[in-house]
Structure formats: structure tokens, C-alpha cells
């Protein structure tokens, strides 16, 4: 017997997952993301609570740091060759 649990999936959840798939697809895709995409991803990831999963929370913190560095590089003109 299977139990189907249907959770309310919001448009923000779908958007966050799509952006995360883009980031995880390759390093080059992350570098190609625009500042607006990065800021939106940052906002969506910050909203999501991963405190129930220690490993996921650690990944969240690492990803936010990586996003912050990339935003800084793009805004300050560093890292673009």
C-alpha cells in the first residue's frame, strides 16, 4: 500500500529548484548566471528552512557564500576576464 502525500508546491519552490538545477548542472552555468538570477536565487534559498536537515543546512550556507562571492565579482568587475 502506498500513501501519497501531496504538499503545496509554490511557484517560488519551482523557481528555486529550477535555479538550483542550473547551478548544479555545471560550474560554467553558475558563472553564466546574471546578477538578477543570483540575487533571486539568494533570496529564495535564504527563505527556505533547512534546519531539520544538518547536511542540507550546511550546503545552504556554502551555496549562499558562493553566491555572495559571485555577486561581488560581478558588481565590482572582478573575476571577469
SS3 (DSSP) at 56? helix
Residue whose grid cell is 519552490: 13
| pLDDT tens digits, one per residue of 11-47 | 998 899 999 998 888 878 888 999 999 999 999 999 9
pLDDT at residue number 3: 63
Q: Which of 20, 3, 11, 81 is nearest to 56 (CA)?
A: 20
Rounded CA-CA distance 14/20 in Å is 10
Where do the structural domains in the chain lie, given as residue ranges? 31-81
Long-range contacts of 31-36 (CB under 8 A, 24+ apart): 31/70, 33/70, 35/71, 35/74, 35/75
Amino acid at each position: 500500500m502506498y500513501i501519497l502525500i501531496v504538499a503545496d508546491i509554490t511557484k517560488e519552490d519551482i523557481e528555486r529548484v529550477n535555479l538550483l538545477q542550473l547551478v548544479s548542472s555545471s560550474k560554467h552555468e553558475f558563472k553564466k548566471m546574471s546578477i538578477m538570477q543570483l540575487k533571486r536565487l539568494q533570496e529564495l534559498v535564504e527563505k527556505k528552512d533547512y534546519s531539520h536537515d544538518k547536511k542540507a543546512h550546511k550546503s545552504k550556507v556554502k551555496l549562499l557564500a558562493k553566491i555572495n562571492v559571485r555577486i561581488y565579482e560581478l558588481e565590482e568587475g572582478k573575476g571577469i576576464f
